[in-house]
Amino acid sequence: MFEEAQKSVSSPSLLYNLAESHRRAGHVAQALELYHAYVAAVPDGSKRADLSDFERLERRQLAATEPVKAAAPRPEAFAAYDPPSFDEKPAAPRRWLHAPGVFAGVAWLPRDRRAGYETLVEVEAGDGFRFSAGALISPRPGGRVALERRLYREDDFSVGFALRGMVASFPGRALTGGGGGFSLRMQATENIEVSSGVFLEYYSTTGEGFLTPIVTAGIGLHL
């Protein structure tokens, strides 16, 4: 570019004066272009005018256009991360039942207008399943098994669906049957549970069968 300035301006002193005028006016690019043209026009440094202002201007211009180098990270920046420690223990998961346990209850048969008593041992198997097996105490001795599946749960109560089977002894014959229904269980304390249920069951004996609703209520003690 300064070759063009040399061609357009023949006098070195005029080149210098123009460069100085542009420098004072803040026209950095034009001032440096004319400065280089003046240096080329006057090869002998002893015959040149004082160019210190232009040299400083050129150094500032070069410093401003150099890319900024990213500072190297300090070694401590790579120190191993030490996560904070927490003394709090994770909350224990909610349990639908506390098994194994012992259940004692009463069953009311509206058809016969009488109550029967039973005791069962209950064991939880899997998530939300309860298996029960136990003895019938009255009105006739026998046995009962049940498998219950939880359908809904809140903090202190749950609703489940159960399949039940029973066998009881009568003079000269046996009564067998079973059915299904819904149960409601409420947690009274950590180890005590109150339950109730409504079931529809079918029973048969020698030459006779009948369908009957059954209402139950009881209390369980779980370990």
pLDDT digits 0-9 by tens, 63-119: 877 665 555 556 555 555 566 555 555 554 545 444 567 777 777 666 666 677 788
Q: Are 200 and 222 in contact (CB under 8 A)?
A: no
Q: Which two tokens stand for residue 79?
A: 């120190």
What's the pLDDT at 1? 47
Percent of the chain at pLDDT above 90? 2
| DSSP at 149 | E
What's the pLDDT at 127? 66
Q: Are 60 and 52 in contact (CB under 8 A)?
A: no
Distance, CA of 173 to CA of 167 (rounded, Å): 11
State the average pLDDT for the chain: 75
Q: Judge if pTM exceeds 0.75.
A: no
Q: Exposed, middle or buried, 120 (CB in 10 Å: 0-12/13-18/19+)?
A: buried
Give me the mean pLDDT over the 133-138 stretch. 78
Q: Which domains does the chain have, with CATH numbers?
A: 2-65 (no CATH), 101-222 (2.40.160.20)
Q: Exposed, middle or buried, 187 (CB in 10 Å: 0-12/13-18/19+)?
A: buried
Distance, CA of 74 to CA of 118 (rounded, Å): 76
Spell out the alpha helix ranges (H) of 89-190.
Answer: none
Q: Which two tokens stand for residue 67?
A: 């890319």
Using the predicted structure, report yes or no on whether residue 39 has a pLDDT greater than 70. yes
Give me the mean pLDDT over the 163-178 stretch. 78
Q: Are 115 and 109 in contact (CB under 8 A)?
A: yes
Helix axes 12-25, 52-65, angle to 10 degrees: 50
Q: Exposed, middle or buried, 167 (CB in 10 Å: 0-12/13-18/19+)?
A: middle
Q: Which two tokens stand for residue 131?
A: 């298996």
Using the predicted structure, report yes or no on whether residue 130 has a pLDDT greater than 70. yes
